[in-house]
Amino acid sequence: MNSLDCIQQATALCEALRGQLTADAHILAEFYRRLEQISAQIHKNMEVRDVAFAQEFNDFCQTMRQDTDKQETAWAQIRAEVRSWHKDAYGADTALPAKGFNNKAKTLSRICDEFLTEYHRFYRLYQGYTAQKLNVWLLTSCAETLNNLTDKILFLAREIAKNAERYRGA
């Protein structure tokens, strides 16, 4: 795979991860709303009406873990490919795609921050909730993995953009 194809693949993976994180943040916000209602019902000694919450939340966490593992594997391959490049791999045709990838990585970083905000919001509410067993540890693991992965992607994008600019005339 040449450098241009690798940058285009990385950009596509970045967009896919951004879409996944955006969707997961919205789902997590919905789980927060539902947990808030359940907690209020428990606090008022009312019967909890949302009986499917725990199962749906645990399924969401399991699916998210699988998606995160797939992303991690794909990005490890991309990073290994980029590490093998020499300065002659950065042709004049890589500068613009590299800048585009860098911009996509910055957008991904912002989306990851939004996801982490939703996660922390949910986690604060969950700490006082003991009525059902939820796999929040799995959500915590995914959040940490996604944060670390996003940092690596952002670093990789910056390095590619910097090297593409530096070596484009070489």
Work out the average pLDDT over 159-170. Answer: 82
Give the pLDDT confidence of 65-86 residue by residue, as tens digits.
Answer: 999 999 999 999 999 999 998 8
Of the candidates 72, 141, 145, which has an alpha carbon nearest to the alpha carbon of residue 112? Answer: 145
For 103-119, what is the mean pLDDT?
97
- Among residues of the chain, what percentage have pLDDT more than 70? 99
Q: For position 169, what pLDDT does the model report?
A: 58
Calculate mean pLDDT across residues 105-126: 96
Burial (CB count <10 Å: 0-12, 13-18, 19+), residue 81: middle
> Which pLDDT does position 77 carry in this prediction?
95
